[in-house]
Amino acid sequence: MNELLGILPVKLKESMKDNGIKAFVADQILDWVFKKSVVNFSDMQNVSKENREKLSTLYNLFPFKNVEVLESSDGLAVKGILTLEDGAKIESVILKERDYYNLCISTQCGCPVDCKFCLTGITGFKRNLKAAEIVGQILWANNYLASKKIDHRISHLVFMGMGEPLLNYDELIKSLAMIHDEQGFFISTRKVTVSTSGFIKTIRQLIEDDVKLNLAFSVGCVNRDKRIEIMPVEELNPIMDVAKVLKEYQALHNRKLTLEYTMLAGVNDTDQDIQDLIGLAKYLKAKINLINLNPHNKIPFKEISNSKLHRLKTMIQNQHVPVTIRFRKGRDISAACGQLGESRMEEANENGND
């Protein structure tokens, strides 16, 4: 059975035509899925029963066989624990901003990068997600908002959920095509940010393929010795070499670059560490996003004090580098930055693997 969300709208119309479904019906289906956020063919009221039954034998519309929803107490975050067809679980987070909704998307089930301050890495890696499973998270989120009578759809995306997006390159690119398509989710490239721990080969692939993205680079620490300890990716992808290829990418596309810096008490929070970060930001003409660690009993680090966090922010501002502190959302449901993955732990325990 074909995954409907893995087929670009123009190709989907061709596929439906080949299966004896008229063009106007294909347009109706696209409207129900991408504009009205319906996840079942049976709910498409203006489509004949015959066509609905036929479509359900040809296409799998919703790529998740079960959805569990956790809502934060402050109403600013909603975590979806999404069970895939093979029983694996991923997590996706709806984030309420001032006047729009953002979605934190996963691209892998687990993560192979093993950053020591991230719960997802601790849970290990199971597999890459297919494009339909990636964009299916947007359909889930829009369906949830509609079910709550919220007059908004997801308008911004951050690929900062479970996994390293650039290690699922082909499916990432396929999903972006669906995301940007006028008859798909039609979300502007300017409103999509892809996070990476820094893989030189795939950043070069972005250059070769002329893919324009807002990138967020997870720094960890600029000091090589410290970075290797908390981000093993440093061994094969030295941060100075990553910086050079990022600068090349920025020169070609002039897209927004953010340096994500997770604060770990006693590890990467010295004044020298921050001076090194400032130097990197100036070299790349990048904005710095300070993220105080979101603690978890499986993560062996502690957050820094708020007073120190704000002192370091002022230190960066005084060097005329743009800087923000990421506002914490969803900590009470383990939906904050670096906390995704508890469902994977539960899955392992269910399968008898600690």
Task: Give the DSSP H/E element, type plus range, for residue 52.
Answer: helix 49-58
Whether the Cβ atoms of residue 56 and residue 308 lie closer than 8 Å to each other: no
CATH class of domain segment(s) 2-60: mainly alpha
Catalytic residue among 115, 221, 337, 342: 337
Q: Do domains 2-60 and 70-350 have the same CATH topology?
A: no
**Which residues on neighbouring strands pair with residue 323, listed in sequence order?**
288
Whether the Cβ atoms of residue 203 and residue 257 lie closer than 8 Å to each other: no
Give the CA distances from residue 224 to residues 167, 276, 317, in Å, rounded to whole numbers and listed in that order.
Answer: 22, 11, 24
The reply to whether 350 belongs to the active site is no
> Can you list the alpha helix ranges (DSSP code H) found in 119-235?
119-122, 131-147, 169-180, 200-208, 224-230
Task: Give the DSSP H/E element, type plus range, for residue 59.
Answer: strand 59-60
pLDDT for 157:
98
pLDDT digits (tens, 9 = 90+) for 85-120: 999 999 999 999 999 999 999 999 999 999 999 888
Judged by average pLDDT, the poorest of 16-20, 174-178, 184-188, 233-237 is: 16-20
Please, what is the Cα angle at 105 between 345 and 63, to 5 degrees?
Answer: 80
Of 337 and 161, the structure prediction assigns the larger pLDDT to 161
Name the CA radius of gyration of the chain, rounded. Answer: 21
CA distance 269 to 263: 6
- For the segment(s) 70-350, the CATH number from 3.40.50.1980, 3.55.40.20, 3.20.20.70, 3.40.50.620 is 3.20.20.70
Domain boundaries, the chain: 2-60, 70-350
pLDDT for 348:
52
pLDDT at residue 354 greater than cutoff 50 = no
pLDDT at residue 168 greater than cutoff 70 = yes
Give the CA distances from residue 170 to residues 126, 173, 346, 347, in Å, rounded to whole numbers and listed in that order.
Answer: 17, 5, 29, 27
Mean pLDDT rounded to a whole number for the chain = 92
**Which residues on neighbouring strands pair with residue 71, listed in sequence order?**
78
Residue 335: pLDDT band by 50, 70, 90 thresholds? low
Catalytic residue among 3, 91, 234, 260: 91
- For range 229-252, the mean pLDDT: 96
Among candidates 326, 249, 314, which has minimal Cα distance to 286?
249
- For range 321-339, the mean pLDDT: 74
The reply to whether 221 belongs to the active site is no
pLDDT at residue 345 greater than cutoff 60 = no
- For range 193-200, the mean pLDDT: 97
